[in-house]
Amino acid sequence: MVVVDSVVRLIPGVLGGEASAIDESFSHGLLEYPQYTRPVEFRGERVPDVLQQGNHAEIERWRRDQARAKTEQKRPDLLS
């Protein structure tokens, strides 16, 4: 499955775009930030307000902060 995944990613159009391969877990040495979808609230969990406001710079900052915090908590060895 790993080989198939690796090869299929090379086929144009399989990923959403070229940026999709660049912005993946471990692509920046950190674990990936949390992912959210609709609805805005699901089972008592709410999508953070910053992700709903449409300010791309703020969203990017939030993602970086979340990725760093998750990495510090779960894989601090990656930060050294």
Residue 45 has what pLDDT? 92
Q: Which CATH architecture has domain 25-80?
A: Orthogonal Bundle (1.10)
From the CB of residue 71, how many other CB atoms can be counted at a distance below 10 Å? 20
Confidence (pLDDT) at 55: 96
Task: State residue 28's pLDDT score.
Answer: 73
Peptide bond into 39 cis (omega under 30): yes
pLDDT in tens, the chain (80 residues): 989 988 888 888 888 776 666 666 556 789 989 999 889 999 999 999 999 999 999 999 999 999 999 999 999 999 88
